Structures are given as structure tokens and as C-alpha cells.
Structure 1
Amino acid sequence: MKKGLLLVALILTAGLVNAQAFDGKGDQKLSIGANLQNNVNGITLAYDYGLGENISVGVVTGYALNLNNGLDADFTDRFELEGRFNANLGNVVNVSDNFDFYPGISLSLKNFGGHFGMRYFFSDGFGIFSEFGTTFAKFNSDALTPAEKIHNQFTVNIGAVFNL
């Protein structure tokens, strides 16, 4: 029995040691989490695909669920879809094989923006992420209504990330 427990502990430890945050070309990540903005809380879903050792592209979608302070918004204001480009620099900053840092740019239905995020993997398949994003240029150059500011302001995303 003791040998069996020891074997299971060694296998689990080896899995933790070999976790990779970004594997380069062909790497695939799926992230799901909470999206936090001024007067809004929602959900976010992201998919990233590795094109090279330090480059990935992806798609992100989000939906604002909770509107605060009397904010009223329809589906088009609540929904977001964007394509993005990331520079995965985990192997450059070299904190840990389980850690990835990725600055990037994005083009969405509402704006052109940038983000930087961090991922940490506890095993080959599961980790956590946090991401911060902002808008560089809005497609609507008029003064935005409070509803139009959804996904057009500083955002924070936190949640779980999975290797596919």
C-alpha cells in the first residue's frame, strides 16, 4: 500500500514539474473567466493558438451580465468579439516553465486595443490566468453613452485556463 501511494505521489509530482505554460507552434489554450469593468461584470471566453515559439493568435468573446448604477444596455452593447495577437514571453522572463507572460494587441467589433496577461499552470492541462486590457482607439469617435463604454474601457479578466 505504501509503495502504491508513493508511486501515485511521484506521478503527480512529475506532472506538476512538467507543466508547460506555452509550448510554441501548435499550442492551444482555452480560457474562461470573469470580466470586470467599471459598472459591469461579465464572462469572457478566449482561444489562443501558437504560431511559433513566442507568437500566438486568438479570438476572445465576452458578455456583460451584471450592469450596475442604473446602466441599461442592449445585446450589441453587452457582447464583444475580438481577434488578437500575443507575444508569449514566458521563456524570456524565465520565472518558471509553468508561467507565461503575454502582451498583445487586439482588434474588436468596437475598438483597437492592447492587453497583457499572465498564466500559471498547476498541471499539463489546468492553470489560472489574469489579463488586463485597454482601448487605444474606439471605432465610434462621438462621445460614448454609458452603454457604449462597455468593452470600450479598462478591463480585468481572471479565471481558469486549459491546454487543449
Structure 2
Amino acid sequence: MKKTFSLLLLSFTSLISAQAFKGKGDIKFDIAANIQNGGSGIRLSNDYGLGENISIGVVGSYLLSVSRDELDNKPDFSDRVDIKARFNANLGNVFNIDEKVDIYPGLDLGLRNFGAHLGVRYFFTEGFGIVSEIGFPIAKYKPEATGFERLNNQFVFNIGASFNL
């Protein structure tokens, strides 16, 4: 019985073929927690494959929980939200690692800065995986940003789910 079960399990798992980045025409949708100094929230992103190792996309984030400032003020909607256009170099196949894994460095242009990011996606099945990404500003539009202007304008960490569309 053990041998039969093991054989069935091995056969079933070999049929599952998840691929992290397929190249041109590939579409990814991520939903993740956004964690940064002074707040946390939700992040949504969509990436579209233009070529074997290139994708472009859009990212939106909204901070749900934000620390009050020294004067006990709460941030406005415009302080909590950020939208970015992005470019990724999908390098999973370049590094010749498991096809379920994609490592993607990239650049983004947002409402508050020009920045960079580094992310990793791992797909368990053809349609579902996990994503983790860090991001940081390279050039801030307002270098002397203070208070709530620093939200979405600093180092951020994201972790969540990724879906193939």
C-alpha cells in the first residue's frame, strides 16, 4: 500500500509544471502586504511580459495603518497612496535555477520618487505562488521630505501572493 501511494504521489507531482516567468505575453498579478517605517498596508501589482526576460507593469499601494506624527496628526489620502510604473529584468532562466523561481531586479517611476526594486516569485502550481520584494528610492522628487512625505518614499518590504493570469 505504501509503495502504491508513493508511486501515485510521485506521478501526480511530476504532472504539476509551474513556471515563474514565461516571457512574452505572460501576465502576473500580485497582492501583498506593504511594510515600511511608519506604516503598513496593501500593495497590488500587475506585470506584462514583453520578451523572454523583460516585463513592464504598474504598482499601487495604500497604507492602511500609519503612525501619527509628533503633533498627533493623521496622514491624508494623498500621503497614504502611491502609484508606480515599472520595468523588470526577469532573470530566473539566466541564472539557470528552478523554473518555478523568478528573480527580477527593476526600476520604477512613481508619484514620489524614481526607485529600484528586487523581487522573487516562487510558483507552487501553474496559477499560484508567493512573491517577496524590496524597494528603495534612488532619487526623491523632494529630497528634504519630512513627516508624512516620507511614506512610500523610503525602503519598503512586500510579501504576498502571486497569480498567473
Q: Name structure 2 gaps, 5 residues minimum.
A: none
CA distance in 1, matches of 2:20, 2:37: 30
Give the TM-score taking structure 1 as reference length. 0.90
Query: Structure 2 matches for 1:58-137, cutoff 5 A?
Result: 58-68=57-67, 70=69, 72-137=74-139
Q: Deviations over 1:1-40 (max 9, x none)?
A: xx9xx7687345411xx11000000000000010000011
Tell me by how many angstroms 1:69 deviates.
5.3
Q: Which residue of 2 aligns with 1:54?
A: 53
Q: Which residue of 1 aligns with 2:28?
A: 29
* Amino-acid identity (%): 53
Q: Which residue of 2 aligns with 1:159?
A: 160
One-letter code aligned to 1:83 = A
Q: Which residue of 1 aligns with 2:11?
A: 10
Tell me by how many angstroms 1:65 deviates.
0.7
Q: Deviations over 1:45-92 (max 9, x none)?
A: 000000000000000000001112546210001000000000000001
Structure 2 SS opposite 1:63? strand
Structure 1 SS opposite 2:94? helix
Q: Deviations over 1:96-116 (max 9, x none)?
A: 010000000000011100000
Q: Name structure 1 gaps, 5 residues minimum.
A: none
Tell me by how many angstroms 1:128 deviates.
0.2
Bigger mean CA deviation after superposition, 67-76 or 132-141:
67-76
Q: CA-atom RMSD, angstroms?
A: 1.9
Tell me by how many angstroms 1:138 deviates.
1.1
